[in-house]
Chain A
Amino acid sequence: MKMKGAQIFFECLKREGVEVIFGFPGGSVLDIYHEMPKHDIRHILVRHEQGAAHMADGYARATGRVGVCLVTSGPGATNTVTGIATANMDSIPIVVFTGQVPTAMIGDDAFQEVDIIGITRPCTKHSYLVKDVNELARVIKEAFYLARTGRPGPIVVDLPKDVIQAQTEFRYPKKVDLPGYHPTLEAHGGQIKRAYQLIKKSRHPVIYAGGGVIHGDASEELLQFAEMIRAPVTSTLMGLGCFPAEIRDKKGKRSPHPLWLGMLGMHGTYEANMAVSNADLLLAVGARFDDRVTGKISGFAPKAKYIHIDVDPTSIGKTVEVHIPIVGDCKNALQKLIQTAEAEPVEGLEEARAPWLEQIGLWREAHPLRYAFDPQIIKPQYVVEKIHELSGGDAIITTEVGQNQMWAAQFYRFTRPRTFLSSGGLGTMGYGLPAAIGAQTAFPDRLVVDIAGDGSIQMNIQELMTAVCNCLPVKVAILRNQFLGMVRQWQELFYEKNYCGTCLADSSPDFVRLAEAYGAVGLRATKPEEVEPVIREAFAIKRPVLMDFLVSPAEGVYPMVPAGKSISEMLLT
């Protein structure tokens, strides 16, 4: 039977198990919207296409499945670029369908024409311009396959209007045929053996885990292997949740996991940065030695031999020289390490590791993450701690970018993968609210909280309307310090306290009334004693709630490694 391109589009999505599309219509995609009501796929109408891309991203991070967004040509397409670049930097599987002018008009500077494939080429894993309806099904199949396999990433599929109007026989290919795409998933046995020999000999090992552990669904293996070799674990921002910061006893009482060091890097914990700086072995799993993690390269884990597991060969040896590279899927590599360790356990492990863990304990005691509680003014860290406490540590947390993001990373103790959604690589302000909406769409009954700043929340505040209209009860906690706080902190420390362009005092809307204008609930806390009641109330309301916490403007994020310094050179206050 012949079908129109628009119908083929939905048939393909159905076969890929797509349950929701985040989108915004326009001239070039009207045929798809015309077809949409006939299909059992939910459509979330966004208020700005950047929001659609971030929602697809948030959905993907929370579920591990491919997120989908659909926008029209021209500005609809260009508005997704920040979302695509965000997903690309953090290896998030999304497929972005963009409308395009009819093929005969491409290149004519037609109304709402833009070369979105050209614009997004540097920030996608791959992209397609579909010029023939006979290619449509194959391209969609390949797009989803590429998005979710190997190192995941965003795929753009550009759909000219005449292609989705044209008709052809629908056949969904069973397999993809991509002769240039064969990601190495199976870790090399010989390299695993060599790696394990180094691990066995090591006295001061540290596991440095990244987002790849989450993408590769390897958290359980990471925990098992870390406990087997009794190696402390630190993670990148992207890795938070891949290792439990806390464990619960049978009565549900929570205590810190003894091997957890916290996040490392620029705003990492003292013990994580000191442990890495003194390690004799660094086992990097699904991490990419990003500059915010390493600080000055020559000062990063200078005494350690490096083992690096990553599914993407370009990540290995890119910024640091690695002694044992292991290309492969994190789960596969860790499973093999576990098997090797089972066959060949380290003798006297407890005693061998005791001095190292003791030393780490001393670092932790000397400089734990802390802040000075003030009964007069709300400290932002206190708000994050209370959100953690009152959510039972089980919420999905999204963040914007800046101080709010770092305090969330430091003071919310993540225990499960896919519960911390944050723009790490690109550092996209305006990410948190749409990402929270995407996550809430996937998990309508879970608590989803966007920890935001008064600067970043306004970058996509319009999506509050999307949350309200679609009954997605996301919670937003604005840590309102009346500054673009992280930039202000850099100005304070490195730019002579010249607070140019960063002050937001008296120049933000009344967030409570704004929330109400959108049909959400607005709550405010201006004193420490109001924090807990506000959070409790917000969590009890089954609607979107925006919480406005007036917090101390002067608070900084510490520890901090100044840019260009070694991570052992931390500013502690």
Chain B
Amino acid sequence: MENSSKHRHTIGILVQNVPGVLARIVTLFAGRDFNIENITAAETHEPGLTRITLVTTGDDHILSQIVKQLNKLINVIKVFDFRDTEFVDREMALIKVRAEAPTRAEVLRIVDIFRAKVVDVSPHFYTLEVTGNESKIAAIIELLDQIGIVEIARTGKAALARSKKH
């Protein structure tokens, strides 16, 4: 049989931007007990088309079903199954971190190391913007959490296949 161990998968979905299209995708996942770890959706450069990036977990069998079931939705134009494709993925996180006198410098050092940006400053807090792949976001969160994260908002992943090099 196929690889039956569970792992995370990133799927790109190009859809017609019509009312209810996201609901159809979410309903499909809920109704068939598929998992959504995160999901992002936004319009593309082409009018009427929306690109969704979705991260799910499951074994190969489940992933195959997910891809087929997505393709079956009438408003889904194309499904990008990144299993056998190199792809780039990024997400952005806004992180509000406690920044009192003793920790301000440390926060700024972390910002520097991770090439993040301070986008809002107040007497007790910094709000940081950081972009990167999953492991980078996880790493900065781990470090900042020791200082004191107050709030966090993440975009979820956006992913595109890498272009062929030749």
Contact = CB atoms under 8 A, between A and B. Distances in A.
Interface of A: 117-118, 121-122, 125-126, 129, 131, 146, 178-181, 312-314, 317-318, 321
Given A117-B20, A179-B16, A313 B1 contact: no
Given A121-B27, A313-B68, A181 B19 contact: no
Nearest to A317: B64
B102 interface: no
A314 B78 CA distance: 15
A70 B68 CA distance: 32
24 contacts: A117-B20, A121-B20, A121-B23, A122-B28, A122-B31, A129-B19, A129-B20, A131-B19, A179-B16, A179-B77, A180-B15, A180-B16, A180-B73, A180-B75, A180-B76, A180-B77, A180-B78, A181-B74, A313-B68, A314-B68, A314-B69, A317-B61, A317-B64, A318-B65
Nearest to A312: B72
Interface string B134-164: 0000000000000000000000000000000
A339 to B, nearest CB: 28
Nearest to A142: B74
Contacts of A131: 19
B2 to A, nearest CB: 8
Contacts of B68: 313-314
Contacts of A146: 74
Given A117-B20, A317-B64, A126 B31 contact: no
A318 B68 CA distance: 10
A521 to B, nearest CB: 45
Contact of A178 (B15, B71, B74): B74
Nearest to A321: B1
Nearest to B19: A129
A287 to B, nearest CB: 17
- Among the interface residues A118, A121, A178, A321, which one has the most CB atoms of the partner chain B within 10 A? A121
A68 B28 CA distance: 26
Interface residues of B, number: 23
B104 interface: no
- Among the interface residues B1, B61, B72, which one has the most CB atoms of the partner chain A within 10 A? B72
Nearest to B69: A314
Interface in B50-94: 61, 64-65, 68-69, 71-78
Contacts of B77: 179-180
B28 to A, nearest CB: 8
A179 B15 CA distance: 10
Contacts of B78: 180
A496 to B, nearest CB: 32
Nearest to A315: B68
Contact of B24 (A121, A178, A313): A121
A546 B16 CA distance: 51
A146 B74 CA distance: 9
Nearest to B75: A180
B22 to A, nearest CB: 11
Given A314-B65, A317-B61, 19 more contacts: A117-B20, A118-B23, A121-B27, A122-B27, A122-B31, A125-B74, A129-B20, A179-B16, A179-B77, A180-B16, A180-B78, A312-B72, A313-B68, A313-B72, A314-B68, A314-B69, A314-B72, A317-B65, A321-B1
A412 B2 CA distance: 42
A180 B74 contact: yes
> Top 8 A-B pairs ranked by shortest CB distance?
A314-B68, A180-B77, A126-B74, A122-B31, A121-B27, A313-B68, A180-B76, A181-B74
Contacts of B75: 180
A503 B86 CA distance: 63
A118 B19 CA distance: 11
A260 to B, nearest CB: 33
Nearest to A316: B68
B47 to A, nearest CB: 13
Nearest to B15: A180
Nearest to B14: A180
Given A117-B20, A129-B19, A313 B31 contact: no
Contacts of B23: 118, 121
A302 B75 CA distance: 39
A129 B19 CA distance: 9
Nearest to B18: A128
Contacts of A317: 61, 64-65
Contact of A313 (B16, B20, B28, B71): B71
A312 B68 CA distance: 9
Contacts of A318: 65
B81 to A, nearest CB: 13
A215 to B, nearest CB: 16
Contacts of B71: 313
A180 B49 CA distance: 11
A92 B75 CA distance: 21
A129 B61 CA distance: 34
A314 B61 CA distance: 11
Interface in B87-127: none
A117 B28 CA distance: 14
